[in-house]
Amino acid sequence: MATAMILLPRSAIRAGDVVMVKAMISHPMETGFRRTETGGEIPRNIIRQFSCRYAGEIVFSCDFHPAIAANPFLSFPVLAARTAPLEFVWRGDNGFLHREQAMLQVAAS
């Protein structure tokens, strides 16, 4: 089971502001290129895809590859329009799926 952390700016957000959204998830990101002490292959176990939806619309997504470090940390800008949920989804090998949700509070201007 993975643990994820979402960080949104703590200051008040107004419509039209560009806010930095940060998301980190615990995951080993095992490359598939390593071997055990006895020479056996360690199978690949990585996150393959991440997406973030804002009010249901994809505002950021990316693919992951084996060279990405454990516990991937992402930071990306989002144009704030109105108070709406941000939904985060990580998908990976072995059916890995993790969802998080955070409310982006936008003050009436």
Partner 1 sequence: MTGQTGRAFALAVFLLGPASADDIPANQRLSGYDMMGAEAQAMQRDDFANPAMLAVKEGEGLWKAAPAEGRPSCQSCHGDAAATMKGVAARYPAREASTGRVLDLPGRVQACQTERQGVAPVARDSTGLLALEAYLALQSRGLPLASPRARGLEDAASRGEALYRQRFGQLDLSCAQCHSQNWGRSLGGTRIPQAHPTGYPLFRMEWQAIGSLQRRLRNCMTGIRAEPFPAGAPEWIDLEIYLKERAAGMAMDAPAVRP
Task: Give me the least distance between CB of 15 and partner 1, in Å please.
Answer: 25
Task: Give me the least distance between CB of 47 and partner 1, in Å please.
Answer: 14
- How far is the C-alpha of 96 from the C-alpha of 64, rounded, in Å? 13
CB nearer to partner 1: give 71 or 83.
71
Q: Which residues bind partner 1 (CB under 8 A)?
A: 3-5, 7, 22, 24-26, 28-29, 69-71, 73
Q: In what order do the strands lie in the sheet with 47-54?
A: 57-63, 47-54, 84-92, 96-104
CB nearer to partner 1: give 4 or 62.
4
**How far lies 8's CA from each of 27, 56, 68, in Å?**
21, 18, 23
CB neighbour list of residue 32: distance below 8 Å, 6 or more residues apart: 41, 42, 43, 44, 45, 46, 66
CB nearer to partner 1: give 7 or 97.
7
Task: Give me the least distance between CB of 93 and partner 1, in Å please.
Answer: 16
Task: Give me the least distance between CB of 33 and partner 1, in Å please.
Answer: 13
